[in-house]
């Protein structure tokens, strides 16, 4: 039986805020493949930002493990939307608290301590502990604000990963040539 986390249609490419999808030129969900699911990185007229799954509470969970592949010719370059002269980062494992208004610090958290930089072709595994040095969208860290972090984990809604660089971990990237992201497995344990 296939895990619901590996069903492409259960994932959303966004974020969608006030009806606007910030991942320009991307489908709403990835496509199912024989070895997992995938999407093609957009070219410079588009961008991919957040790829999320509505999971629910992370209470009692200890880590998120993600196996993925970036399929691209070594000559492909990836660029952050904000500032193409800067480096890219991603995928960065992420989770979001239920009811996030997209303005309140402590509702979105990234595993910035295990953020692949720069994006490049190859096969990768991220094994991210949920007690690691997570950082929030603005100024918090899990160590300096343990109650906010614990509340966000207990009341989590979406989990997944983001792409960015330059001015933000989820502010989007694009490629200058054909490139594909393939999720081989994603587990929350």
**Distant-in-sequence, close-in-space partners of 90: CB < 8 Å, separation ≥ 6:** 115, 116, 119, 161, 162, 163, 164, 165, 169, 173
Residue 1 has pLDDT above 80, yes or no: no
> What is the per-residue pLDDT across 137-150, written as a single tens digit (0 to 9) for each?
998 999 999 999 99
Verify cis geometry, omega within 30 degrees of 0, for the bond prior to 180: no
Residue 45 has pLDDT above 90, yes or no: no
- Residue 104 pLDDT class (50, 70, 90 cuts): very high
Neighbours of 77 (CB within 10 A): 15
- Per cent of the chain over pLDDT 90 is 93
Residue 173 has pLDDT above 90, yes or no: yes
Give buried/exposed letters for 140-151 (b at 16+ CB in 10 A, else e). bbbeebeebbee
What pTM value is reported for the model? 0.96
Q: Are 155 and 55 in contact (CB under 8 A)?
A: no
Residue 158 has pLDDT above 80, yes or no: yes
All domains of the chain in start order, with CATH: 4-188 (2.60.120)
Output the pLDDT for position 44: 85
Cα–Cα distance, 46 to 99 (Å, whole number): 28
Cα–Cα distance, 131 to 146 (Å, whole number): 10
Mean pLDDT across the stretch 13-31?
Answer: 97
- Give bridge partners of residue 39 from the DSSP assignment: 181
Output the pLDDT for position 155: 98
């Amino acid at each position: 039986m296939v895990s619901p986390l590996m069903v492409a249609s259960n994932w959303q490419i966004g974020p969608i805020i006030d009806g606007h999808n910030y991942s320009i030129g991307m489908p709403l969900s990835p496509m199912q493949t024989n070895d997992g699911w995938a999407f093609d990185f957009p070219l410079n007229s588009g961008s991919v930002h957040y790829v999320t799954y509505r999971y629910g509470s992370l209470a009692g969970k200890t880590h998120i493990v993600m196996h993925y592949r970036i399929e691209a010719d070594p000559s492909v370059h990836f660029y952050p939307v904000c500032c193409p002269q800067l480096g890219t980062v991603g995928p960065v494992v992420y989770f979001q608290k239920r009811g996030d208004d997209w303005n309140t610090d402590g509702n979105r958290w990234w595993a910035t301590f295990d953020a692949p930089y720069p994006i490049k072709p190859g096969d990768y595994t991220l094994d991210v502990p949920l007690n690691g040095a997570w950082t929030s969208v603005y100024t918090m860290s899990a160590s300096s604000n343990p109650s906010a972090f614990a509340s966000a984990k207990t009341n989590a809604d979406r989990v997944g990963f983001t792409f960015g660089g330059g001015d933000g971990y989820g502010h989007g990237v694009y490629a200058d040539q054909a490139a594909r992201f393939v999720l081989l497995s994603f587990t929350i344990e």
